[in-house]
Structure 1
Amino acid sequence: MPLTVAVQMDPMESIRIKGDSTFALMLSAQARGHRLFHYQAGDLSWSNDRLWTQAHPVTVQRVEGDHFRFGDPVRLDLGEEADVVLMRQDPPFDLGYITATHLLERIAERTLVVNDPASVRNAPEKVWVLDFARFMPPTLVTRSLADARAFLAEHGEIVVKPLHGNGGKAIFKVGRDGANLASLIEVFNTAYREPHMVQAFLPTVAEGDKRIVLVDGEIAGAINRIPGEGEIRSNLAVGGSAAKTELTPRELEICAALAPELKRRGLLFVGIDVIGGEWLTEINVTSPTGIVAIDAFNGTDTAGMIWDAIERKHEGSRR
């Protein structure tokens, strides 16, 4: 049955269609006959238990620079007129993002929201992963320079990154001499009100940082993201390159440990990051990426797998 799908995302003209996971999801939905609408999180309005947005009907095509067509904007009642809301805008995970999750939570009993908005709000990438600390590298969350220095003395080399950062931005390696650690913590404490994440540096990052995609708790596929020359960051957005890969026994163990909790929380499309085949660093639930590269290497249809899961859940909710 065709579904009405509202996609909460960034401006259509800003996306890079070659590797964009949201665009791949939209193409797949359109091919199935689903009707697509586009809106941004700031367009949401609520009153008298009704949540609506100014949305554009949209059609998409895989033509660079001419990849979408908007129809005339409409007032779309997300609780009454939409079957599915895809919450796909990129972080930052700021108050605007958090507010959108609160508003969408108010219609979650009537409209399927993917991923579940309350779970997205309560599972930020670098915080929820602490529930699975047994799979993580040595980690410290702090604003304290003294604690960061003690952690550096214990582990020799460390990485410092924002707790709510994304896309490989503002990730710094600090060597054994601790040069610039004080300045770095000072800058971070000025820029961010929250604590920061400090982790032992993993030399195996040179071999790659795997992105593993799980759909409703099931492994859909993975790619290995390899840092560029002179980089420790492997994110494709900052110059990393993708390579075909297989999962290690440890990675399969991590996925098996996560699966029941992902299903319980309604986190249908999730991407996890694992370094060196064994160290879990993030659980990405806000706007996971990587499905285009995975499908290119493996000949799979991850977008189709995601829509199969969405359609099952939607059908189950109507019974």
Structure 2
Amino acid sequence: MTIKIGVVMDPIESVTYKKDSTLAMLWEADSRNWQIFYLLQSDLYIDSGEPCARMTRLHPKQDPQKWFEFGEETQAPLANLDVILMRKDPPFDMNFIYTTYILDRAESRGVLVVNHPQSLRDCNEKVFATHFPQCCAPTLVCADKRRLRAFAEEHEDVILKPLDGM
């Protein structure tokens, strides 16, 4: 039996060929002859309680000039898939939240969803990193501009990131 895998991701045209881990996962799935279905957040919907999507067959290629081809497009219940990979990058906005709600419904229908939708809502990746300070550069999470300025002055070479973006 062939595994059917759906991948919720950013537009594939925006993928950075040399470093995108989702693309590496797609190549591996293809090497195993799995059926791969490409999904955008806007493709997901719930129809009369059934989580569904517009799914487009995807054929990934290991060619930096043309790293994918699209196949047939269908509308189908997400329960037709064995696995869904949630690979959408931030921003962590309401569309992201709504996507996790639909993926929760797919999970309740027996689909393995990776990354777990509830965990994506509960665990901000930037805040989660603070659980492992021994693995991180000095880190400050706050909304106080004076504290941020003092931190930047103390450490000089800093990176500022919003909690809900890249």
- TM-score, length-scaled by structure 1: 0.47
Give the letter for the 1:108 counterpart: E
User: Tell me, what secondary structure is at the counterpart of 2:42?
Assistant: helix
Q: Judge conservation of contact 2:140–2:151 (CA < 8 Å) in 1.
A: no
CA distance in 2, matches of 1:117, 1:29: 21
2:100 counterpart of 1:101: yes
Distance 2:81 2:20 in 1: 23
The code of the aligned residue for 1:40 comes to L
The aligned residue for residue 143 of structure 1 is 143
The question of 1:7 aligning with 2:13 is answered no
Amino-acid identity (%): 35
Structure of greater relative contact order (alpha carbons < 8 Å, 6+ residues apart): 2
Task: Report the residue type matching 1:101 in the other structure.
Answer: T
Q: Secondary structure at the match of 2:128?
A: helix
Amino acid in the other structure paired with 2:154:
G
Once the two structures are superposed, residues 59-93 of structure 1 have per-residue CA deviations (whole angstroms, 9 ceiling, x without a partner) of: 12112232222123100211x20100011122222
Displacement after TM superposition at 1:162 (Å): 1.9
> What does 1:293-308 correspond to in 2, within 5 Å?
none
Q: For residue 165 of structure 2, what is the aligned residue in structure 1?
A: 165
Unaligned runs of 5+ in 1: 167-319
Distance 1:12 1:163 in 2: 24
Query: Which consecutive unaligned segments of at least 5 residues does structure 2 have?
Result: none
After superposition, give the CA deviation of every residue in 1:36-73 in whole Å (9 maximum; x if it has no partner): 11110111111332111111111121122322221231
* Cα separation, partners in 2 of 1:64 and 1:139, compared to 1, 3 Å: closer
Counterpart CA distance in 2 for 1:66 and 1:140 is 41
> How many residues align structurally?
163
Map 1:175-190 onto structure 2 (within 5 A): none
Q: Which amino acid aligns with 1:73?
A: E
RMSD: 2.3
SS at match of 1:126: helix
In terms of Rg, which structure is larger? 1
In structure 2, C-alpha distance between the alignment counterparts of 1:66 and 1:45, rounded to whole Å: 30
